[in-house]
Structures are given as structure tokens and as C-alpha cells.
Amino acid sequence: MTSYRPPLDGIRVLELGSSVAGPAAGRLLADLGAEVIKVESDEGDGLRTWGPPAADGTSWWFKSHNRNKRFVKFDLHAEADRRTVREIALRSDIVLENFRPGRLDAWGLGYDSLRAENPRLVYASISGYGQDGPYRNRTGFGNIAESMSGLRYVTGYPDRPPVRVGVSLADELAALYCVVGIQAALLARDRDGVGDYVDISLLESSIALTQGMLAEYEALGIVRERSGNAHNAVAPSNIYPTRDGRWIAIGANANSLFRRFAAAMGRPELAEDPRFGDNRRRTEHGAEIDALISEWTITLDADDASSILADAGVPAGPVYSIADIVADEQVRSRGVVRYLSDDAGNRVATTAPVTRFRAHPTVSNHAARAIGADTAAVLEELGIGTS
């Protein structure tokens, strides 16, 4: 069988980012085989101190979040270091950054300055609100973007305040959209011979996840409100208590699914009940149907209920903690959890690259390294002096 290289092998990325969104995009590119060169100052990326630390003081989150990258140390406040970083940028295919808009322009590392010498450069910026508009200069965080996008407004129960998802959703969304844009720009570069500027905002990335909310509002004036774990457009689709004190998610909103579900519960007559005859009527009577389902699930352990519904062809699964995820047979079979080593030989658990190919490998080489660990090697390989 022919042996192929990773999809982005041979693509060099200069990452001028910190915290979550920019480095997340760099991580995704590194997973696909790109050489990602991450620039840090003496203090390092602030994410190195977020969460429980390993013995070297670096957070486990950082070690996983910045896997497969090369680490160089330069102070962008120092003119000599900026000149060196500029030389790396001019030898790169992609510059990825998440500074406040205009900051890198002032340092001679902005798109217009670099493209004048490297017209094939793909330059990607992630910011809170985008590169223009009245909020351009505001500092943007995922917390704020998720709130202003409407995601928080519809998350939680109607009688309680909006709640956050337990992870940095806006940052990871922006990273995904950024990588999509970068890959499209690389394809266009191959066709047209020139690079492009990719402008991604945390706010817009989150607004894009609101699905039908915008269309419903513009057409019908509907402002979607919080509905807890129930779905306001389909039913049944909720989480339900089980005998062992856990929860199971069930989605049986299509008519054929609901018939199978009713039979699996031993209540086939529910599929003939006028209240539950189609999705619209089931949604109108959502509280009633959820009560009936809860009466059934509370008599079973979560795993048993999952097995019954899997056999019936009904989408269902228990609500997992991270410990449950690590133990799950599907997760283990697919190798979703990977173990990488850092400089000190620590075993760092991380996720496997989500995108899988039949012919091309992805990359799982090493966890994040120490600040500046690759500086000398990168400069030597690129033929860049430090004076």
C-alpha cells in the first residue's frame, strides 16, 4: 500500500497566539501535519498557568492544548526579536494570530506589511469582534462572545439565570472556523497564486451556532427562551433519570423512531395517542411525554436502558463524566484518548485528531514543550541569524 504524508505536511505555520482560540487553531493544523512554530515570551502563554499544574508548573491543559508544536522564545516588545520573528513569518505559509486588532500592524508584523514581501502568505486573525466595526478595539473573550451571541440566553432553565457551557465553546468554535478558512485560502492560493487574509471573530463564530433562531425571529418575531434540557422544536428529546442515580439522553422525535421507542418501553399504544401523533403535537405535549418516559427510565439502570434502546434502533446514551468517557468501549476502540510525552517524560492524556483519513495519517507526536525549547533548531533550519 502506498505510504502518504499527513495532509498538511510541508506547510509551515507561525503561531503568534495565546490562551485558547489561536492556539486551538494551531493545534488543529499541527494534528494535520503542519509545522506549527509557536512564539512565546519569557513568561510564556498565560494558559500555562490555567488549571492544575504538573511538576514543572505547566498546566496539564496547556500540555494537551499545544501538542505537536515547536516552541520558540522571542519578546515581541523588543525590536531585534520582532525582526527575527518577521523573518520566520516571511518563510512561512501561514501566520496565525489572536492579538487585539492593529497590534501586530504597529510591530511590523501585520498582513499588509508581510504580504508585500510574501504574496503567497495566508494570514489568519482571531479576535473578539473582528477586524472592523465599532467593537473592533474591545478586548474579547469567549465568555463574552457566548453571552452576546445568544448562546447563553437560551442555555439553562426558564426560571433561572443563563448558564455557561463547562468549556470554552466560543474559542473552540472560532478555531474550527479559522482552520476551515485557512484550508480554503490554501486551496485558492494553489489555484490563483496568491494568499489571503482570514478574519474570524469569537462573536460571529458563536452566532453562527444559533441554528434556526435568526430565521424564526426575522420571519415570525419569535425570541427563543431557555427551556432546560427539553428541545423547543422536537420531542421527545431530553435527558431522563435512571434507577442508578444517573441520566440518559434520548432522542426519538421522528415518527418512526417514536413508534420504535414506544414499543421498547412496552407502551406501543403511545404511538397511536392523538397527543403524540407527530412531532408538532409531541412538542406541544412535551411535558406529558417526558413524564411518561421518566416513569419508564427510573425503573432501569442507565446502561440497561441504553442497551434496550440501542437494540430497538432508538438514539440514546448516558450522560457521561470525563471518567465515563475514558472507560467507554467505543471511545477505547476508536483510540480517542491518546497519550503523549512532554520534555520531562510525563504522560499527557489528550484527544486524538478528530478528522480521520483512509490514506493520509494525522500527527500525535508529543505534548507541549518548554518555553523556547526549539528556538535554536528552528533558526538554524531556516537559516536565520539572531543578531
Structural element, H or E, at residue 351:
strand 347-351
Q: Which three cell numbers stand for residue 131?
A: 477586524
Among residues 213, 263, 258, which one has the least CA distance to residue 237? 258
For residues 66 and 26, the answer to whether their CB atoms sit within 8 Å is yes
Q: Which three cell numbers stand for residue 181?
A: 478558512
Q: Where are the alpha helices (DSSP H) in 131-201?
A: 142-148, 169-192
Among residues 203, 81, 91, which one has the least CA distance to residue 151? 203
> How many other C-beta atoms are found inside a 10 Å radius of the C-beta of residue 168?
22
* CA-based R_g, the chain, Å: 25
> How many other C-beta atoms are found inside a 10 Å radius of the C-beta of residue 84?
20
Q: Which three cell numbers stand for residue 235?
A: 420531542
Q: Tally the C-alpha atoms within 13 A of residue 140's C-alpha that lie toward its C-beta.
A: 33
> How many other C-beta atoms are found inside a 10 Å radius of the C-beta of residue 36?
29
**Nearest 5°: phi and psi at 347?**
-85, 120
Structural element, H or E, at residue 291:
helix 286-297
The CA distance from 187 to 196, in Å, is: 11
For residues 72 and 375, the answer to whether their CB atoms sit within 8 Å is yes
Please return the burial class of 337, using the count of CB atoms within 10 Å of its CB with bins 0-12, 13-18 and 19+.
Answer: middle
171 is catalytic: yes
Residue of 93, 171, 199, 342 marked active site = 171
Structural element, H or E, at residue 317:
strand 316-318
DSSP state of 53: B
Residues 6+ apart with CB under 8 A from 229: 238, 239
DSSP state of 204: H
Active site (catalytic) residues: 171
